[in-house]
Amino acid sequence: MGRASCLLLLLLPLVHVSATTPEPCELDDEDFRCVCNFSEPQPDWSEAFQCVSAVEVEIRAGGLNLEPFLKRVDADADPRQYADTVKALRVRRLTVGAAQVPAQLLVGALRVLAYSRLKELTLEDLKITGTMPPLPLEATGLALSSLRLRNVSWATGRSWLAELQQWLKPGLKVLSIAQAHSPAFSCEQVRAFPALTSLDLSDNPGLGERGLIAALCPHKFPAIQNLALRNTGMETPTGVCAALAAAGVQPHSLDLSHNSLRATVNPSAPRCMWSSALNSLNLSFAGLEQVPKGLPAKLRVLDLSCNRLNRAPQPDELPEVDNLTLDGNPFLVPGTALPHEGSMNSGVVPACARSTLSVGVSGTLVLLQGARGFA
Ligand SMILES: *[C@@H]1O[C@H](CO)[C@@H](O)[C@H](O)[C@H]1NC(C)=O
Ligand SMILES: *[C@@H]1O[C@H](CO)[C@@H](O)[C@H](O)[C@H]1NC(C)=O
Ligand SMILES: *[C@@H]1O[C@H](CO)[C@@H](O)[C@H](O)[C@H]1NC(C)=O
Ligand SMILES: *[C@@H]1O[C@H](CO)[C@@H](O)[C@H](O)[C@H]1NC(C)=O
């Protein structure tokens, strides 16, 4: 059943196509991470054999069409015959990238991997052709904890998530979908993700607030704690609040950084109450000239770094926060702003590029060392 041995063809290939290509795979000294980049038009897939001992495996196929694999695979083979071999693999994290993959081959690989101890799967720059067959009755799904997709296009269009979900066990905790070609899934067929705590829809600039309601599939993500919406075309915090309320999603932490946000609220728009579960809000890199109105009244963490605030926010403009980040705003640039009397800010940081200055409401300054560069 299924084109099941295709993964073995990728990981344990038996066919030696050519011996003239340069080494496409590299395994580190610890036998931990193995990276293959098959960029030749006729790659020697057997090179991937050295990855069998690795825990992290990354395979990129130089944009090749993997359709010929289907012909080499015995469609009627029972994947259970590979179970022992696959169980012996150490792989926990697998990345597959840069290829055109028939859906039949993808589900065949997922079916074989269901016998492995794989926990994290990343698919990048893939074009999935054809439709995904449903999971056969006797088969079990793949027990992933994390699934990350970036720039994956699906011939099946909007139903791809529902189709892919059938091949997974329900325990998925982390789902990330970036550069989606159709971020609005057809929610009707999607079953709930009962264990999903982190949903990352970042880097879908065409999503927008209306698209967000559709992508959040009402009541299909009941356990979400962290929602990341970086660079997703969001316009106002209030609009996002309304979309979350409409979708019944109540995250603890919400990342709206890298959206161009407007602070003002359309006065005719209905007021939106944030869920009381929300305790961390990231509004950095949002082009804000003032602190938006209608933020949740109580937050633990608020990041307003790298905006265009020209003066120190007054305490009554800010929600109650334990952990506030304001660095990288013009009012903090040396020479242009001095600490305001009565304001909470007494620190000056030149740019958001190098350091993160955290100003506690209590007045304590915490300079976070080694903050990542915001290039
Ligand atoms: C793979 O190899 C090709 C050709 O050598 C190169 O252009 C490409 O950047 C490599 N990809 C990765 C991810 O290293
Ligand atoms: C997205 O993936 C396709 C292959 O499916 C590739 O041709 C394209 O360059 C990728 N786009 C980006 C922005 O990486
Ligand atoms: C907020 O988002 C920025 C950019 O995405 C990130 O660098 C920063 O660490 C985030 N802040 C918090 C408090 O998580
Ligand atoms: C503020 O929050 C950030 C992100 O959650 C965390 O890394 C940092 O340690 C916190 N700082 C303080 C002073 O609590």
pLDDT of residue 335: 56
Q: Cα(84)–Cα(70) distance, rounded to whole angstroms?
A: 23
pLDDT of residue 96: 96
- pLDDT level of residue 348 (50, 70, 90 thresholds): very low
pTM of the model: 0.84
* Residue 206 token pair: 């065409």
> Does residue 19 have a pLDDT over 90?
no
Residue 119's contacts (CB-CB under 8 Å, 6 or more residues apart) are 92, 93, 143, 144, 145, 146
* Residue 130 token pair: 């054809």
pLDDT in tens, 257-303: 999 999 876 777 778 899 999 999 999 999 999 999 889 988 999 99
pLDDT in tens, 79-134: 788 888 889 899 999 999 999 999 999 998 998 899 999 999 999 999 999 988 88
Q: Cα(141)–Cα(164) distance, rounded to whole angstroms?
A: 10
- pLDDT level of residue 16 (50, 70, 90 thresholds): very low
Residue 127 Cβ < 6 Å to ligand 2: yes
pLDDT of residue 351: 53
> Does residue 370 have a pLDDT over 60?
no
Average pLDDT over residues 203-228: 92
Q: How big is the CA angle at 226 (ends 220 and 230), to the nearest 5 degrees?
A: 100
Residue 205 Cβ < 6 Å to ligand 2: no
Average pLDDT over residues 242-248: 92
pLDDT of residue 344: 40
User: Nearest residue CA, atom 10 of ligand 4?
Assistant: 323
> Does residue 363 have a pLDDT over 70?
no
Asked whether the beta carbons of 107 and 129 are under 8 A apart, the reply is no
Among the ranges given (205-214, 306-315, 348-357), the one the predictor scored with the smallest mean pLDDT = 348-357
Average pLDDT over residues 245-256: 95
Of residues 225 and 49, the one with the higher pLDDT is 225
Residue 338's contacts (CB-CB under 8 Å, 6 or more residues apart) are none
Q: Give me the chain's average pLDDT, please.
A: 82
User: Nearest residue CA, atom 13 of ligand 2?
Assistant: 151
Ligand 1 centroid distance, CA of 21 (Å):
14
Distance of CA 34 to the CA centre of its chain: 22
Place of tokens 């036998």: 31
Ligand 4 centroid distance, CA of 200 (Å):
20
Strands 298-303 and 280-282: parallel
Which of 202, 204, 250, 207 shows the shortest CA–CA distance to 230? 202
pLDDT in tens, 52-85: 999 999 999 999 999 888 877 766 677 788 888 8
Q: Would you give the end-to-end CA distance of the chain in angstroms? A: 49
Give residue ranges with CB within 6 A of ligand 3. Answer: 230, 255, 257-258, 282, 284-285, 301, 303, 374
Ligand 3 centroid distance, CA of 166 (Å):
34
Ligand 4 centroid distance, CA of 319 (Å):
17
Q: Name the percent of the chain lying above pLDDT 90.
A: 55
Domains along the sequence of the chain with CATH = 22-154 (3.80.10.10), 196-332 (3.80.10.10)
pLDDT of residue 17: 46
pLDDT in tens, 130-160: 988 888 877 889 999 999 999 999 998 888 9
pLDDT of residue 30: 93
Residue 39 Cβ < 6 Å to ligand 1: yes
pLDDT of residue 263: 83
